[in-house]
Amino acid sequence: MMSRAVEGDERRQVDAVRRAERDEGQARLMTIGELAAYCRMSPSGVRTLVARGLLPQALPGSRRWDRRAVDAALDRASGLPGVTEESAFQRWKRDRDERHGRRT
């Protein structure tokens, strides 16, 4: 028998998947649950990818992710041709990390 907390978590994940599918192509900003559904993974998996730098952070001052920024980050991580260009911020961050001996 599943606990009510687990049932509630599963229900919220299913609801997030349904919302993400309904909003596909419409909503540009996504919550963590919608982003997880969009990527077909759990919210904790999304947080891991954000922490590893494979997915962008939420927009400053919000808890929403930009669908286009997520798509671009996934394209870069997948090594798709033509999307490996480095932004000015990424170049600055890479240079800073190299100066301080950090791994990127």
Is 63:39 a contact under the CB 8 Å cutoff? no
Q: For 3-32, what is each residue's pLDDT tens digit?
A: 566 566 677 777 666 666 665 566 899 999
Q: Token pair for residue 66?
A: 């930009």
Q: According to the model, what pLDDT value does residue 22 have?
A: 60
Q: For 54-80, what is each residue's pLDDT tens digit?
A: 999 999 999 999 999 999 899 888 887
Can you tell me which residue has the tokens 């009510």? 4
Rounded CA separation 100/97 (Å): 5
